[in-house]
Amino acid sequence: MIKFFANAPDNPTTGSLGYAQAILRVNYQYFLTGLVEIQLDPESKFVLLVSEGNQAGAYHIQGNACREIEFSDLPDIWQKGDAAIRSMNLPRESIRAVKEVLEWSPPRDEVECDSKSVAQYLDQYRDENASGLVRVSWPRTEGFVTVWHGRMLNPDTVFSTPNGVEAGAAMARQITNNPESGCILTFYQAIPGTQTYQQQCLRVAVAQWSKGILDRYLQLVGRSLLTALANDLNNKMGAQSWFIQVIGDSIIDTDVFANIAAANQAYTALMASLVSHMNNIIGRNLTNTVLLETYSTLAPVEQETIQYNSLLPVAAVPV
C-alpha cells in the first residue's frame, strides 16, 4: 500500500478518531498545507489532504482500490479503536500530486530501472503525447513529474528527501540527475472524468491562453502597463486567498481546489478581471481582438476547455 513521501520528516503517532480530528483542526486553524494518513489496518487507510487550512480531499484506500469520500464520512468508516496516524506539512504542489496518484490509480506502468533511464522514460511519455503523473521512487528520495499532452509541467515537479519536500521547476533536474542507484518508475495515466483531470485541463488551458494574452498585451502597451495589470490581478486574487499570480508575462498557479466548481470560480474571476483591466486601457474592440487571436493559437483540447467552462467573454466568442 502506498505511503507518500516515506522518507520525508513526518509526525507519526497513534490515536483515536477524535485525535485525528484534532490534528485536522490544527491544520484548519493555522492555515496549514499537508496530509494526514491514517492506517486502519494493513489493507485500509485514509489519506486526508488540507491546503492552506481548507479541506482539499479525503480518500479511502482498501487494498488496490481507492475512492474519494467526504471528511464527514470518517466516523461511519472508522468505527473501532486507535489507528496509526501520520501527519506532515507539504508544499501545495505536492497535494496536487497526491490527488492525481489517488484518482488515477491503478498505474498504467510500473518498472524497475536505473536512474540514468528516468530521462528516457520521460522522453517516451513526451513522444506518446501522454497525460499523467510520473512517480519515481529511490531508496532515500522520491519525485513526481506531471506530463500533460506530452509536455512536462516542470513548475509542478515535487521532490522528497530526508530533509523535506520541495516543489518547483528546479526539482526536475533533481529527478533526472539523481545520483541514487536503482529506482521504481510508476506512470499514472490521467483518467478523464476525474476531478483532478478536469482541473488540470482547465488549469493548463488558462495558463496557455493567459500567457498568449499577456505576451500580446506587452507588445501593445509595454512593460510598465503590463506590470500595472499584474499588480491589479495579483491584488484581486490575493483578496480571495487564491494562490494565482501574474509573474512577468505568465500566470503562476499553485492553488489546490477542492473541486472543479471552485477552480472554475477562481479562473472565471481571473479572466473577468484581466478582460476588465484591458478594456479600460486598450478598449473593448482591441481587447476582443487579442482574446480571439490568442484563443485561435491554442490546441483544440484547450479551446474546448475554455468554451466548455464559459471563459471566453460573450463579446469575443467566435462566430
Could you tell me if 201 and 306 lie in one domain?
yes
Distance CA 111, CA 135 (A): 11
- In a domain? residue 213: yes
Could you tell me if 199 and 309 lie in one domain?
yes
Residue 312 has a pLDDT of: 82
Distance CA 33, CA 10 (A): 13
Could you tell me if 170 and 207 lie in one domain?
no
- In a domain? residue 233: yes
Which of 18, 13, 55 has its CA nearest to residue 37? 13
Could you tell me if 201 and 127 lie in one domain?
no
- In a domain? residue 171: yes
Could you tell me if 172 and 225 lie in one domain?
no
What separation in angstroms does the CA of 166 have from each of 76, 96, 296?
A: 35, 13, 36
Dihedral of CA atoms 35, 77, 199, 101 in degrees, nearest 10, equals 60
Last residue of a domain, one of 191, 222, 251: 191
For 152-187, b/e burial (b = at least 16 CB within 10 A) is bbebbbbbbbeeebbbeeebbebbbebeeeebebbb
Could you tell me if 265 and 242 lie in one domain?
yes
- In a domain? residue 96: no
Could you tell me if 178 and 230 lie in one domain?
no
Could you tell me if 158 and 228 lie in one domain?
no
Could you tell me if 27 and 81 lie in one domain?
yes
Which of 62, 56, 50, 48 has its CA nearest to residue 20? 48
Could you tell me if 86 and 199 lie in one domain?
no
Could you tell me if 218 and 180 lie in one domain?
no
Look up cell 519525485; give the residue.
Answer: 143
Helix (H, G, I), strand (E, B) or coil at 200: helix
- In a domain? residue 98: no
How many CA atoms does the CB half-sphere of 191 hold within 13 Å? 15
Distance CA 251, CA 243 (A): 10
Could you tell me if 9 and 118 lie in one domain?
no
- In a domain? residue 10: yes
- In a domain? residue 102: no
pLDDT tens digits, the chain, 319 residues: what are they? Answer: 889 999 999 999 999 999 999 999 999 999 999 999 999 999 999 999 999 999 999 999 998 899 999 999 999 999 889 999 999 999 999 999 999 999 999 999 999 999 889 999 999 999 999 999 999 999 999 999 999 999 999 999 999 999 999 999 999 999 999 999 889 999 999 999 999 999 999 999 999 999 999 999 999 999 999 999 999 999 999 999 999 999 988 999 999 998 999 999 999 999 999 999 999 999 999 999 999 999 999 999 999 999 999 998 754 655 4
Last residue of a domain, one of 191, 215, 231: 191
- In a domain? residue 4: yes
Q: Which domain range does residue 216 map to?
A: 195-316
Distance CA 298, CA 156 (A): 21
Distance CA 266, CA 140 (A): 37
Number of domains in the chain: 3
Q: Where are the alpha helices (DSSP H) in 62-190?
A: 74-77, 92-103, 118-127, 170-176
Last residue of a domain, one of 191, 224, 250: 191
Contact, 281 vs 117, CB < 8 A?
Answer: no
